[in-house]
Structure 1
Amino acid sequence: MRILFVSYAEKTHFQGMVPLAWALRAAGHEVVVASQPELMPTVASTGLPGVPLGRDHMLYQVTAWARRLDSAQEPGLFDVGERWPEHHSWERLEEGFGSAVSLWWKVVNDPWVAELVGFCRWWGPDLVLWEPVSFAGGVAAEVVGAVHGRVLWGMDLLGRMRSRFVDALAARGGGRDPLAEWLGDRAGRAGGVFSERMVRGHFTVDPLPEVLGLGAVAGVERVPVRYVPYNGPAVVPEWVSGGGVRVCVSLGTSVVERLGGYSSGVGGVLEGVAAAAGGGGVVAALPGYGGAVPAGVRSVSFVPLHVVVPGCGVLVDHGGPGTLLTGMAHAVPQVLLPGHHLDEPLMARRTADLGAAITLSSGEVSAGSVRETVERVLSEGSFAGRAAWLRDRMEEMPSPAAFAAGVEDLVDRHRASLSRGWVS
């Protein structure tokens, strides 16, 4: 089959798809990655063929502009905090979807959706797999009549929130649907019509073990596929093979590459970790960090986490899904310092509730609290035990290779539901 992976130019979102793409290619399928020009060097570094389409997005410029206009702007609808809200008012849902469409989804999809439709018409994919904000993939697949599915990189906040929105809209007897209006317009320009599948796909590939997920979502077919860590191309440093890394610190790359740098609290985190580790055996992956580094801490701009983490006693991280799941896949307990972005606080809280981590909120982070927390995780065996239990739940999930083995049956099952939105 011809299989197209679709991701807007966001490296961390795309990298979670790479093991699945390679599993499908290794199984004999023709695999291509479509994105905006900015992502092409990253795609090329994976060895997968890429096709650049449209223009690069300006999400972070638009976000900075919006914040300057409204410095008191409330957190977004999908920044759900530590607990999933049981319900939202209609006004909150309508305003939240309107803001997400205008300030996020349009910004990253509009510069290339028309070109993606054109490429799909020419190449004729049998299956389109798209990361959950790259609605361009769902639109293009529906227009050309291809089976398609989302590939999640974290919790399915969008699927759950969309289900709530649709239910609330029906209960009101109708109303404005900003997402359907926008996608319907973009599909209409290519001769298609809006379908709810443009939001949810025919199915959804979910890398989270069921104990961490949000539960069944109406209208979403969940296809579990085990998370396989991929950190990009790397040469393993000589010091890694020597062992001796007791604590690993990773506070993310997007905060530097996209959001302007680390907060002033990094120095306190490093001080607390160094004290807890007894003055040695600490590696901190902090790209772009120029602050003070305590004795006994090896500061590096990049390290392949899947190589370093397996030998650690604890991983101290920001709770981003890629980092958190990498630690989880290797049964390493974690100290989580999540921000307020999307599912980070909720994922951290769920992992802590399962006994595999301790979470410190931004207001709790200090050199003293980090030291005390890291010492506790290192000394109390229950955290390692629960981390191993959680790793076992991940290993019960089908691998990317297992998904590849059954993908033709999955596609065939969904072909009957296809409704072509254009006439060739």
Structure 2
Amino acid sequence: MRVLFASTGGSGHFNPLVPFIDACTARGDDVLVVAAPRLEATLAAREHPYRISGELKEDELRRARARVLELSRDDGAALMIREVFGRLGVAAMLPALEEACREWRPDLVLHEACEFASVVAAGRQGIPHARVAVSAARFTGSMDELLRPVLAPYGPGIVERLRTSTYLTRLPASLDPSPYAVTHRYHETPEPGVLPDWWGGAEDPLVYLTLGTEAGALATATGLYRAVLEAVSELPVRVLLTAGRGTDLSGLGPFPPNVHAEAWVPQADVLSRASLVVCHGGSGTAFGTLAAGVPLVCVPLFADQPTNARLVTEAGAGLAVASTDVPVGGAPVLDTEAISRIRSAVELVLKEPSYRARAENLGHETRATATCGELIDTLDPRT
């Protein structure tokens, strides 16, 4: 089978496709990835063929981002979806995807949930396509209607095709009910490695602090890292902080004695040993943590993070500490009271066993779903 994968920029959007790319490769399928220019270095480090789409129009992108930064969190997220992922993203990626669908003739197109040009290109060539979730279904579903005016110029019924296409999500049903009629759930199968003992044999609970690869690189992340470090520095815990390869760790220090900082550590290595994760509620971190059966404390910033934090709290698998609502580009307000609330949330989740128990239940539910390879077998249109 020939499978075309499509992704916008950013590792958080590409990573959900990776286990399916690996599963197709293991099956002996032919794989081609079409992605935004930001992913070129990532794709060049892998073995499968790829093509890079056009760039977003820089002047229009700059104007859109400037508008986003002036808006509230919810309004900024809506504008980002409509203008950047929708109008500008489709225009930039459609030529490369149309060429790939027309000339390479894939049997199936798999696209991450915020990439929409492939839906247009596959529809024009009569090729089946499936959507791989990045976020929770309630957030993904909220995007669809926002896209209607920007997808209308490409033909009628595109949003309806998007809604009726197969939807693949790694979130268990009890956590994230899906509005999509054809929904398949799956789990990944990471193999944890050995986590170094950076704490000299200490056996206190391990708290993992991360803001992921995207939010962690923002200038506004420094204040959040410092606030959380202040909140946990005097607690009887070990802390591992990862800030991303693009972050200067020296700007976050000096670190308390119980804190060790690294640019990056494989998530599976940490989650296999962590007692708690403190994060921004990004999808990759939050749902990877729950799949491993580990509870969370979320301090959401923007985009889908408030939705993810609500899912965590509603499920009883952790707590959320909300900062004051500010424009997307602004720094979250994390005063002494907020730091105290973070500390209290960490203490409560570590002390109260129900949070861990609920997270473990969600992990068991996740692992009972299909593997990516099993799903690919069912999606093969030739069978």
TM-score by length of 1: 0.77
1:371 and 2:343 are equivalent in the alignment: yes
Confirm or deny: 8 A CA contact 1:7 1:131 kept in the other structure.
yes
1:312 and 2:277 are equivalent in the alignment: no
| 1:138 aligned counterpart, secondary structure | helix
Match of 2:226 among 267, 272, 287: 267
Confirm or deny: 8 A CA contact 1:271 1:367 kept in the other structure.
yes
Matched residue, 2:170: 207
Matched residue, 2:119: 138
| 1:26 aligned counterpart, secondary structure | helix
How far off is 1:362 after superposition?
Answer: 1.4
How far off is 1:261 after superposition?
Answer: 4.2
1:10 and 1:386 map into 2 onto residues whose CA distance is 31
Matched residue, 1:61: 62
Confirm or deny: 8 A CA contact 1:275 1:371 kept in the other structure.
no
Q: Does 102-111 or 319-328 show the bigger shift?
A: 102-111
Structure 1 residues 368 and 150, CA gap change in structure 2 (3 angstroms): same
1:252 and 2:209 are equivalent in the alignment: no
1:284 and 2:237 are equivalent in the alignment: no
Match of 1:221 among 162, 177, 182: 182
| 1:316 aligned counterpart, secondary structure | strand
5+ residue gaps, structure 1, are: 80-95, 166-177, 188-192, 414-424
Matched residue, 1:345: 306
- Tell me which amino acid in the other structure corresponds to 2:151: L
Matched residue, 1:360: 321
- Tell me which amino acid in the other structure corresponds to 1:153: V
Matched residue, 1:33: 33
2:257 and 2:126 map into 1 onto residues whose CA distance is 59
5+ residue gaps, structure 2, are: 325-333
Taking the TM superposition and a 5 Å limit, the aligned residue runs for 1:16-165 are: 16-56=16-56, 58=58, 61-67=62-68, 71=70, 73-76=71-74, 100-157=81-138, 160-161=141-142, 165=145
Q: Deviations over 1:110-154 (max 9, x none)?
A: 112122101211100010011122111101111111110111111
Structure 1 residues 37 and 102, CA gap change in structure 2 (3 angstroms): closer
How far off is 1:25 after superposition?
Answer: 1.6
1:179 and 1:383 map into 2 onto residues whose CA distance is 37
Q: Deviations over 1:226-259 (max 9, x none)?
A: 245699xxx97644799857111112221244x4
| 1:225 aligned counterpart, secondary structure | strand
2:61 and 2:194 map into 1 onto residues whose CA distance is 32
1:215 and 1:36 map into 2 onto residues whose CA distance is 28
- Tell me which amino acid in the other structure corresponds to 1:358: L
| 1:208 aligned counterpart, secondary structure | coil
Structure 1 residues 340 and 100, CA gap change in structure 2 (3 angstroms): closer
Structure 1 residues 62 and 346, CA gap change in structure 2 (3 angstroms): same
Matched residue, 2:151: 183
- Tell me which amino acid in the other structure corresponds to 1:273: V
Matched residue, 1:390: 362
Q: Deviations over 1:79-138 (max 9, x none)?
A: 5xxxxxxxxxxxxxxxx6x88433541122211212210121110001001112211110
1:118 and 1:183 map into 2 onto residues whose CA distance is 19
| 1:312 aligned counterpart, secondary structure | coil
How far off is 1:282 after superposition?
Answer: 1.2
1:300 and 2:257 are equivalent in the alignment: no
1:20 and 1:135 map into 2 onto residues whose CA distance is 18
Taking the TM superposition and a 5 Å limit, the aligned residue runs for 1:8-19 are: 8-19=8-19
1:327 and 1:252 map into 2 onto residues whose CA distance is 12
Q: Does 370-379 or 3-12 show the bigger shift?
A: 370-379
How far off is 1:345 after superposition?
Answer: 1.7
2:316 and 2:345 map into 1 onto residues whose CA distance is 13
How far off is 1:64 after superposition?
Answer: 3.0
Matched residue, 1:92: none
1:326 and 2:288 are equivalent in the alignment: yes
RMSD in angstroms over aligned alpha carbons? Answer: 3.0
Confirm or deny: 8 A CA contact 2:187 2:369 kept in the other structure.
yes
TM-score by length of 2: 0.84
How far off is 1:387 after superposition?
Answer: 1.3
Matched residue, 1:173: none
2:98 and 2:62 map into 1 onto residues whose CA distance is 26
The structure number with the bigger radius of gyration is 1
Matched residue, 1:89: none
How far off is 1:159 after superposition?
Answer: 5.4
Confirm or deny: 8 A CA contact 2:81 2:143 kept in the other structure.
no
Q: Does 26-35 or 152-161 show the bigger shift?
A: 152-161
| 2:241 aligned counterpart, secondary structure | strand
| 1:112 aligned counterpart, secondary structure | helix
Q: How many residues align?
A: 364
Runs of 4 or more above 6 Å deviation: 240-243
Structure 1 residues 201 and 6, CA gap change in structure 2 (3 angstroms): farther
